[in-house]
Chains A and B, each alone.
Chain A
Amino acid sequence: MDDVLVVAEHRRGELRDVSHEAVTAGRALADARGGDLHVAVIAGDVERFAEDVNREGVDAIHTVEHGEEFDHNVYQAAIAAVLDRTDAGTVVIPNSVNGLDYAPAVAEAQGLPLVTDAIGIEYDDGLTVTREMYGSKVETTVDVTGDRFVLTVRGGEWAPAEGVGDAPVESVDVDIPESGARVTGFEEVGNGDVDIADADVLVSVGRGIEEEENIELVEELADALGATLSSSRPIVDNGWLPKNRQVGQSGKVVTPDVYIAVGISGAVQHVAGMKGSDTIVAINTDPNAPIFDIADYGIVGDLFDVVPELIDEFA
């Protein structure tokens, strides 16, 4: 049971990068345990995905053809079948929205401990996982009892597996139970009047703005700078700006020349959407805010003091 199974993730015809990252994490685990690395490719164009995920370090690939898109019933049944026919006792799954729609059910069905959102792993007699708590303010190490487990790994924390592997690809027939959850389609969040992904300069506002009526202040700054206004998630959740202004994992990924984060702490979901910006400026009262880890320029200060002064500079 020393083998490790990684589950690949794809959406709308594309294998997602986190699949290659999960292979790297899975390979490290398999090495530490002295086992093989298996990859499961489930639904969609399994042959093409299998070829793409067949990179150095992969020992065997199992494909399950059933439907085009993600369906957690299919994933759960397919993983159970692959675990049955291999010696894999441990499962590594991307910590994505879809990963969290089946990984807990797999752990529950297999009776295995579950650790989600891993940012680091060590294996020495047993698994130790590094993960964050308290909204990224601290990191913890978590020891797992037993030598089998289900682990979900955060995207962007492991280098993607590279090279060309020569793992055999085997198709697996799986009886899929009738599904009580049926995907009927997809919807993209519209751009509406503005596409923030096209902007060269973004002034982005977060929770630090406190009240809806204060949004005007950053609007004024954006106008003075000739910039486009964007925001972090809470601003959109509160209905203070429309969804098309949201930067982050569930919103838009932006790469402007200059990104000015005003009152944004820099949660990992937000950073995922803007870390590719050329120059990042952060204005925040909390010197420990993670936004300063990726900023090029920072002002530790109250936005209500700094922003009016900055508007004056450009008036």
Chain B
Amino acid sequence: MKVLVTVKEVAEAGDDFAIEGTDIAASDLEYDLNEWDDYAIEAAVQLAEAGIADEVVTVTIGPERTEETIRMALAKGADRAVRVWDDAFEDGFSDVAAKVSTFEAVVEDEDPDLILGGVQAADTGFGATGVALAERIGFEHAAVVNALDLDADAGVAHVHRELEGGVEELTDVDLPAVLTVQTGLNEPRYASLRGIRQAQRKEIAATDLSDLGLSADDVESALTITSMYEPESESDAELIEGDAGEAATRLAEVLREKGVGA
């Protein structure tokens, strides 16, 4: 079977950052592979190693810059990548439907049996693209999967969904399906030197909307970010000052008052 993995490069802000307009200043952002997607890549590569997946293809919506992140996925064992970008994505904030329209077109080209992606993106935190995509393309789905056992012959994925409060739901999902992957599903590997070398030769197909038979109208977003600000701290904590030794002495006093260490 063929596995398609949705991979996002996410932006992360350091401890100090400035807000310019409706986003964090580009110079204060660092880019990395979305943590949740790392687990999805690992799950797909493990399916390939187990002889269940014949091919693992990643798909990313992102500018040329993201190829460094995509190479990481290839170095970890994905076979090839599709990168979609277009001027239409440059301005504004893509909503879920815009991403789904893009992925739908890629799914038509690739015809996967299983689509894996992270539960959410670390930067925007919508947590919605996978399930919306499943609805659009008529696949089954399961969100927030933290255990996966694929029975390819039966065409069923036995999954656990991680609910709140230490409870997991056991669900059988018919293929083809979209599964959104929670952290902790597996142990994502580090790319080996050999993997990194091999990744240089793997294909990243750069694609724009017209290549996919889409136009800018198809990815028009219904959402606009109108402001961004740092939330006001509600802290009324007593901040303990001084060097580490002084702070520890004061904290020890506080803790002893609360009966700790007695």
Contact = CB atoms under 8 A, between A and B. Distances in A.
**A complexed with B:** yes
Interface of A: 11-12, 69-70, 72, 76, 96-98, 100-105, 107-109, 113-117, 128, 131-146, 149, 180-189, 201, 224-227, 233-234, 236-239, 243, 246, 249-253, 257-258, 260, 278-279, 281-282, 285-286, 288, 292-293, 295-302, 305-306, 309-310, 312-314
Contacts of A306: 244, 247-248, 251
Contact of B224 (A102, A143, A305): A143
Interface string B171-198: 1111001000001100100000000000
Interface in B135-171: 135-136, 140-144, 160-171
Interface of B: 11-13, 15, 17, 19, 22, 24, 93, 95-97, 100, 119, 122-132, 134-136, 140-144, 160-174, 177, 183-184, 187, 222-231, 233-235, 237-240, 243-245, 247-249, 251-252, 254-255, 258-262
Nearest to B95: A113
A134 B153 CA distance: 41
A208 B171 CA distance: 35
Contacts of A146: 222
11 contacts: A102-B131, A104-B129, A108-B96, A108-B136, A113-B223, A114-B96, A145-B222, A186-B170, A306-B244, A310-B248, A314-B252
A152 to B, nearest CB: 8
Given A117-B125, A117-B126, A139 B231 contact: yes
Nearest to B254: A297
Nearest to B96: A114
A314 B243 CA distance: 18
B144 A97 contact: yes
Contact of A185 (B19, B123, B170): B170
Given A101-B161, A116-B128, A298-B238, 7 more contacts: A76-B135, A180-B140, A180-B177, A184-B172, A252-B165, A281-B255, A309-B248
Nearest to B184: A237
Given A97-B161, A104-B132, A293-B235, A133 B124 contact: yes
A313 B174 contact: no
A146 B251 CA distance: 53
B16 to A, nearest CB: 9
B76 to A, nearest CB: 17
Contacts of A139: 228-231
A131 B236 CA distance: 23
A109 B96 CA distance: 13
A257 B258 contact: yes
B17 A137 contact: yes
B239 A258 contact: no
B251 A281 contact: yes
A142 B122 contact: no
Contacts, number: 261
A298 B228 CA distance: 27
Contacts of A246: 166
A274 to B, nearest CB: 13
A187 B144 CA distance: 15
Contact of B226 (A70, A113, A128, A186): A128
B125 A187 contact: no
A181 B174 contact: yes
Contact of B100 (A100, A108, A144, A260): A108
Contact of A186 (B134, B169, B184, B249): B169
B250 to A, nearest CB: 9
Contact of B260 (A98, A182, A201): A201
Contacts of A188: 166-168
Contacts of A305: 243-244
B227 A140 contact: yes
A26 to B, nearest CB: 19
Contacts of A103: 128, 131
Contacts of A104: 96, 128-132, 135
Contact of B231 (A138, A236, A279, A299): A138
A143 B227 CA distance: 10
A140 B24 CA distance: 11
A113 B222 contact: yes
A145 B173 CA distance: 34
B160 to A, nearest CB: 7
A143 B258 contact: no
Nearest to A307: B248
A46 B262 CA distance: 51
Given A97-B162, A237-B184, A257-B258, A116 B126 contact: yes
A187 B228 contact: no
A141 B251 contact: no
Given A104-B129, A298-B239, A181 B228 contact: no
A310 B248 CA distance: 5
A299 B22 contact: no
Contacts of B22: 140
Contact of A297 (B140, B227, B240): B240
A134 B136 CA distance: 28
Contacts of A109: 135
A97 B143 CA distance: 7
A72 B132 CA distance: 12
